[in-house]
Amino acid sequence: MNIHNEVLIRLYTVLVLIVLVAVLIFGKAVKITFFEGDKWRAKGERETLKYMPTKAERGSILAMDGSPLATSLPFFEIRFDLKADGLTDDVWKKNVDSLAHCLATYVDNSRTVGGWKFDLDEYRKKGERYVLIKKDVSFEELRLIQKFPIFDRGRNRGGFIVLRQPKRQRPFNMLARRTIGFVRDSTKTEPRREVGLEGRYNKVLSGKQGKQLMQKLDRGVWIPVNDESEIMPSMGNDIVTTLDIDLQQITNDALIRGLEYHQADEGIAVVMDVETGAIRAIANLQHNEERTGWYEGYNDAIGSAVEPGSTFKLAPMMALLEDNKVDLNKQIPINKGKMQFYEEEMLDASKKSFTIDSTSMRKAFAISSNVGIANQIYEHYRGKDAAGNLRANQFVKRLQQFHLHQRTGVEIIGEPTPFIKNPESNEDNWSGTTLPWMSIGYELTITPLQLLTFYNAVANDGQMMKPYLVSNIEHLGETIETFKPTVIDKQIASKATIAKAQKLLEEVIEVGTAEKIASKQIKLAGKTGTAQINYRKFDNRKNLKYRASFVGYFPADKPKYSCIVMVTNPRVNGYYGGDVAGPIFREIADKTYASKIDLHQALNSRPKPRMKSKKMPDLNIGEKEDMKKVLTYLELPYTDEGKTNMTAVSPSSDTLRLQNRTIKENVVPNVVGMGLRDALFVLENKGLEVEINGVGKVQRQSIRPGTKARGQTIKLTLN
């Protein structure tokens, strides 16, 4: 055989072997795919192991005093692996009856002991590895269940599976619920939602995920291989809000009372710290569908831009003052509350306008005269100036100077930009009637918080602060980041304009549309508003809905808090801002004043009162030892001249004399000058019935001293 043939034989041999191997592989593949596929897929699923992420415990959202507004409490889900390695038949037979008894007694008594045992035996026969025992188990319940027979053997020897599933709890229920917010994962029908502070600070609150080895069972169920994570999750950070839980409760309660009294659809109220811009309370309440209660469905205070109505009038007034176009004491026409602007007639809402042709600019603002304010804005900002520029641009620039065209930048997602028309924009539909209607809060939109920020700046002597809701980020009680107050504008208007604006807001309470809410406890300042909802100048519909509002601050002489209240569609008991929103503002102010010591002047900060006269104490009668203790404590000199238990303190020159006061047997004693306690002790020991009128020391007694005591009723007059 030559070399050539030998090479060919070897080559063919190798080729045949390759073909045979390929045929075998192909045959095996066909067998697995078409005949054994289900078997191997099932086995693969049963034996799949994978490291899967485990959620970290979410951080808490806290009020300014540390009270939890939203926190994660530990809850657990209990599962049972009936094919655990250590769960032998012998262990099962010895303990299943006891386990069934414990489950029926302490976990679910809707099933009898026999029912539980039957079910457990059936689960074991089927080889179930992930049987649900109970959801939402508290830590105390978990400690009890862990001691049950079989379960006390743990994960591998007893099949006891514990899944930690913290639940988000809000201890104060509805308070600031929408502002606190939520994070909701996406579903087949809804996208992922991140709302409020929970959404805005989701990454901060979430922490870092851990990892745990999981085994995949039939039907795609994953169970933990071990009780603990291989990589432990890192707990999320806490955020400390600016919310004052006491003010939040006051605001929420006052708003609910007002909404129910007026049978309104919904309402908002926000309280802000004047100096810092910190939001101390925020409530957004709407009726539920059955109109049987209230809930927070949407954060309208931050997320809804509306036509504000007359509460906006402060801005055009300040524009006029900044441009030196008006004298507050000068008479202006109001034409008995009616005025024509092109084809449209404007009407006043206040009855005080219907009988007068003119009034001062100051008074027009106090009584919220639409005609008075609109007429002045129209007169001074219509047309063009000598250089051919639109005067309306100057008016809009003043509004922009007050930052009424900007968002506040508050942390909550979804704040809209205010809509202020541009006179030179074709898209904004500027018309001849736009100026007068803008001046009374129409043809523009702004959110309640944006409007409150403007009023807050006026209260703060012109310095505009950014409203904010979060002051600190903490981890396990240690501050890791602090958010300080932010100044938007150090001076939104001249000091003279701000001072006049403050006085105008005080006069609204003193002589204007909010006279009814003047408080004896605390001086208030603010502005009422009554806006027609979905107002259109060319719409003569009847039965219009209204939005009543009030914006202001307190105490007016030293502002600490600013507040806005808006009530939508009040049905009964009035619809004007002064009748609906004003009383809610007043209640918030009064109760805040009563509960906050920093709003009260310290007693020792006032000048000490001068005594009317310098004299020794008047006649006092009582137990001698008590008198001595009091006089010694007060460092008053005295001489003890008495020998009886009772004594009369008599002033003499530069000292006090303790004299005898004898109480005779069986006769009515003289108790004039005694305190009530001593008088009662003496008289009741004589068997007398005592009637009392007044407070203080005994001034008169109805039975003369020395009268024989026979159980009479003696009347004492105290003063």
pLDDT digits (tens, 9 = 90+) for 101-119: 999 999 998 999 999 999 9
Helix, strand, coil % in the chain, rounded to nearest 5: 35, 25, 40
Least confident range from 9-13, 649-653, 670-674: namely 649-653
Task: Check residues 170 and 501 and name the one with the higher pLDDT.
Answer: 501
- pLDDT class of 716 with cuts at 50, 70, 90: confident
Q: Which CATH number fits domain 56-185+219-240: 3.20.20, 3.10.450, 3.10.290, 3.90.1310?
A: 3.90.1310
CA–CA separation, 491 and 219 (whole Å): 66
Which stretch, 341-350, 395-404, 469-478, 664-673, has highest mean pLDDT? 395-404
CATH architecture of the domain 248-598 equals 3-Layer(aba) Sandwich (3.40)
Radius of gyration of the chain (CA): 41
Do residues 40 and 218 touch, judged by C-beta distance below 8 A? Answer: no
At 372 the pLDDT is 95
* pLDDT attached to residue 231: 62
Residue scoring higher pLDDT (667 or 304):
304
**Per-residue pLDDT averaged across 387-395, rounded?**
92
Q: pLDDT per residue over 357-390, tens digit each?
A: 899 999 999 999 999 999 999 999 999 988 888 9
Q: What is the mean pLDDT of residues 180-198?
A: 85
Query: Average pLDDT for residues 646-674, to the nearest whole number?
Result: 75
Average of per-residue pLDDT across 30-53: 65
Please say if the pLDDT value at position 42 is more than 70.
Answer: no
Task: Specify the pLDDT at position 538.
Answer: 40
- Pick the residue with more confidence: 552 or 532? 552
Residue 189 has pLDDT above 90, yes or no: no
Burial class (CB in 10 A: 0-12, 13-18, 19+), 543: exposed
Entry pTM: 0.74
User: CB of 698 within 8 A of CB of 679?
Assistant: yes
Residues 684 and 716: beta-carbon distance below 8 Å:
no
pLDDT at site 645? 72
Given a cut of 50, whether residue 198 has pLDDT beyond it is yes
Between 214 and 703, name the one with better pLDDT: 703
Please check the confidence at residue 228 and state whether its pLDDT lies above 70.
Answer: no
Q: Residue 598: is its pLDDT beyond 90?
A: no
Residues of the chain above pLDDT 70, percent: 88
Minimum mean pLDDT among 10-14, 425-429, 571-575: which range?
10-14
- 427 or 633, greater pLDDT: 427
Helix axes 370-381, 391-401, angle to 10 degrees: 120
620-718 CATH fold: Trypsin Inhibitor V; Chain A (3.30.10)
- The mean pLDDT value for 588-593 works out to 95
> What are the residue ranges spanned by the domains of the chain?
56-185+219-240, 248-598, 620-718
Among 216, 205, 217, 219, CA closest to 55:
205
- For the chain, the straight-line distance linking the first and the last C-alpha, in angstroms and rounded, comes to 147
Q: Could you report the per-residue pLDDT of 307-323, keeping only the tens digit for each?
A: 999 999 999 999 999 99
Q: Please report the pLDDT score of residue 293 as a whole number.
A: 82
Mean pLDDT of the chain: 87
Give yes or no for residue 691 having a pLDDT over 80.
yes
**Residue 411: per-residue pLDDT:** 94
Share of the chain above pLDDT 90, in %: 53
Q: For residue 58, is pLDDT > 70? A: yes
51: nearest Cα among 210, 213, 209, 163? 213
Give the pLDDT mean for 69-73. Answer: 90
| pLDDT at 302 exceeding the cut of 70 | yes
Using one digit for the tens of pLDDT, what is the confidence trace for 257-279?
999 999 999 999 999 999 999 99
State the average pLDDT over residues 534-553.
74
User: How far, in Å, CA of 329 to CA of 596, rounded?
Assistant: 38
